[in-house]
Amino acid sequence: MAVNLSPVGGVAAQFFTNTGAVLTGGKIYTYLAGTTTPATTYTSSQGTTPWTNPIVLDAAGRVSGSGEIWLTDGINYKFVLKDSNDVLIATYDNITGINSNSVAYTNSQEIVTATAGQTVFNLGISYQPGTNSLSVFVDGVNQYGPSASYAYVETDSDTVTFNSGLHVGAVVKFTTTQQQGAGATDASQVSYTPGGVGAVTTNVQAKLRQTVSVMDYVTSGAGTSGDPYLGWDTNTPWAAGIEVVFPTGTFAYSTTLNLAYSKIYVHGAGRATILKFNGTGNCVSFDGGGSGINSPHIEGFLITGNASATNGIYTDNATYGICKNITVQNVSAAGFRSIFGVYWHIENFYMGNNFGAQTTTPTVGIYLGNSGGSETVTAYTIVNANIADCVNSGIDINNGWMNTIVGGAVEANGDQGLYLGVNAHDNLINGLYIEGNATKAAYVQGAGNNFVGLWCVDATNPPIVFSGSTSANHVYGGVYGAITIDSGATRNEFTNTRLEGTWTDNGNGTAVSNVFSDNLAAYIHPTFVASWTNNATYPYETFTSSGSSITSAINSSGLGVANSNSFYLVGGATYIFQWFVTLNSGTLPGFVVSSNTAASATGVSVAGNNTYMFKANSSGTYYFTLRTESGVAANYAVSNVDVKQIN
């Protein structure tokens, strides 16, 4: 092992106290530079016999025995000098052996004449405060230590402040010694001092090793699409807790990049950093296996596959992950697929032909959960995902609870923009833009999901569909081109929701217990009264109708009855019936709300607006009837017929 003579106490040195007394029994403690980690020194140039730590001085204040101190080549030391009672005298940091790795030093000095009482000196030279690289002399006397006649503070790299004012004409000499990197043969010999208060000095090697540059492991290539970087995927020392940095360029590889390491942070420079996968299977994987991983982080890449690539990013048994600023193209299954995990944050995730023509079209954009399995994804957050041109769905939550989608868009997908499977429960979809999907804006099979402020309107207005297996979903606000409720869908609630197109009840009245509240006239609620017929037994002499309106009902004296279509009401629910009567002559009609078994409510209309609140006794089929009695004449019209469920 190579050793070099120490510049502090190296040979025949004698030490003194700050008052000039011989430092009998003094102690020299040696540490790694900038730390309190003990560092070994040696008694001779052979570097075989270590000194005790501390080195105890003899009665003459000299190093005992050989009288020499030798330092390991390439190591930076810190020396701490104390008296026999362990009272600190001085600290010397970033000390290397004489000629250690041929390190070069530069000395600079500046001489200033003080004005009367001057304390602050702004220098034209610089130094590193706290590293003992500065010496100050006043009138030829070294002002070292707190007991010096003119003690001072190293204020910053070019300022010195004395504790008391100097006399007029005092000659002050400032001398600095700086280690130079140009003479060093190893980065560990070049110091690095970060800016800011409390920053710890280290060396260039340690600083550079705080992150891993994938470029250090590239074996060939120029980083272009035709000549990509190679070799990096197998050579890079992937490990838990490291940060791996990719610059711009194309990085090709043929085996799944499985980053199954906790707290690994892998990041590129956005879409200008391309991971080009030429193999079979997943492009990038965070597969925790049986033990699981936590807190992986991937950010800033364009991931592109091929016809044999399945998923862009695949995760299983990985928790608290971050996937940010990622674009995926040319995979056959999903851009992002997670089988099992909790608390992932997915932000700014992009897919579609807008980012370049694809040779392979994905089935799904983001797929959460395992179809047909027991695994679930829980508490994922998807922010600003923009997904288009998938074969089936933009976002598919097949098996997952308490996940949140915020903002973003799903457009031009082959089936629906959004799919929530039968095991997708208690998810929140907030502010998602859904447009141009082939068959459905969204397909909801799970229960307890919340939809807030969705936009689902386009030229063809495909519907958001609530299937027969779904219940207790809540739709708040938003604009919808069409809404379909299938038979068996129950206890879904629509509040302040605008419908631009059609409402469809595929259950023919059996989509029960759905609640429609605070939806203004231009807003969504199902059409209960859609048509009228002239009663065959007790007809009006003249009767015409159009949709929910009666344009003319005329009788001279006989009983006249007009019946609406049948509609389904929920037992115990309260409804508001509204209609407008224009009386041309004669008597106003009475009204009846009746079920198949018996009349439930009766009354007499008024001219103009009519409002009647009705609570259904039991669930079943009902009719709304208008009638005039025998022996009276009537000539009226009815418009603005509307029925709303309010609880």
- Within 8 A by CB and 6+ apart from 466, the residues are 444, 473, 483, 484, 485, 486, 489, 492
Listed residues 181, 203, 227: the one ending a domain: 181
Q: Could you tell me the CATH number of the domain that includes residue 84?
A: 2.170.14.10
506 and 591 housed in the same domain: no
484 and 367 housed in the same domain: yes
Question: Would you state the pLDDT for residue 186?
Answer: 66
Helix (H, G, I), strand (E, B) or coil at 367: strand
- Within 8 A by CB and 6+ apart from 637, the residues are 549, 550, 551, 552, 553, 581, 582, 584
Between 340-354, 468-482, 596-610, the lowest mean confidence (pLDDT) is in: 596-610
Biggest distance spanned by C-alpha atoms of the chain: 138
Q: φ, ψ for residue 618 (rounded to 5)? A: -150, 160
Domain of 585, in residue numbers: 532-645
513 and 580 housed in the same domain: no
598 pLDDT above the threshold of 70:
no
Sign of CA dihedral 13, 17, 20, 22: negative
Residue 418 lies in a domain: yes
| DSSP assignment of 33-88 | TTS--B--EESSTT--SBPPSSEEB-TTSBB-TT-B-EEETT--EEEEEE-TT--E
| Per-residue pLDDT tens over the stretch 280-305 | 999 999 999 989 999 999 999 999 99
- Within 8 A by CB and 6+ apart from 63, the residues are 9, 13, 28, 55, 57, 69
Residue 31 lies in a domain: yes
Which two tokens mark 203?
A: 């060396």
Residue 207's pLDDT band (cuts 50, 70, 90)? confident
Residue 129's pLDDT band (cuts 50, 70, 90)? confident
In the chain, the number of structural domains is 5
Which two tokens mark 627?
A: 């009638």
Question: Would you state the pLDDT for residue 557?
Answer: 85
142 and 1 housed in the same domain: no
Residue 253 lies in a domain: yes
12 and 151 housed in the same domain: no
Residue 422 lies in a domain: yes
108 and 81 housed in the same domain: no
Residue 328's pLDDT band (cuts 50, 70, 90)? very high
C-beta separation of 174 from 164 below 8 A: no
50 pLDDT above the threshold of 90:
yes
Q: Could you tell me the CATH number of the domain that includes residue 114?
A: 2.60.40
367 and 325 housed in the same domain: no
542 and 604 housed in the same domain: yes
Looking at the whole model, is its pTM more than 0.75? no
Residue 454 lies in a domain: yes
Half-sphere exposure of 470 (CA within 13 A, CB side): 26
211 pLDDT above the threshold of 90:
yes
C-beta separation of 326 from 299 below 8 A: yes
Residue 431 lies in a domain: yes
C-beta separation of 556 from 613 below 8 A: no
Closest CA to 313 of 271, 250, 368, 394: 368
- Pairing status of strand 532-534 against strand 560-564: antiparallel
The chain-wide mean pLDDT, for the chain, equals 89
Angle made by CA atoms 208, 209, 212, in degrees to the nearest 5:
100
Strand partners, 621: 568
469 and 507 housed in the same domain: yes
78 vs 222: CA distance, rounded Å: 44
307 and 386 housed in the same domain: no
Residue 81 lies in a domain: yes
627 vs 553: CA distance, rounded Å: 10
Between 16-30, 292-306, 434-448, 562-576, the lowest mean confidence (pLDDT) is in: 562-576
Listed residues 102, 135, 166: the one ending a domain: 102
Residue 2 lies in a domain: yes
84 and 163 housed in the same domain: no
Question: Would you state the pLDDT for residue 226?
Answer: 95
| Per-residue pLDDT tens over the stretch 626-646 | 999 988 999 999 999 988 776
169 pLDDT above the threshold of 80:
yes
Locate all alpha helices (DSSP H) within 344-468, ordered by sequence: none
Closest CA to 337 of 323, 353, 325: 323
191 vs 358: CA distance, rounded Å: 50
Q: φ, ψ for residue 605 (rounded to 5)? A: -70, 160
Q: Does an H or E element contain 347, and which?
A: strand 345-351
**Average pLDDT of the residues in 105-114:** 86
C-beta separation of 420 from 428 below 8 A: no
519 and 380 housed in the same domain: yes
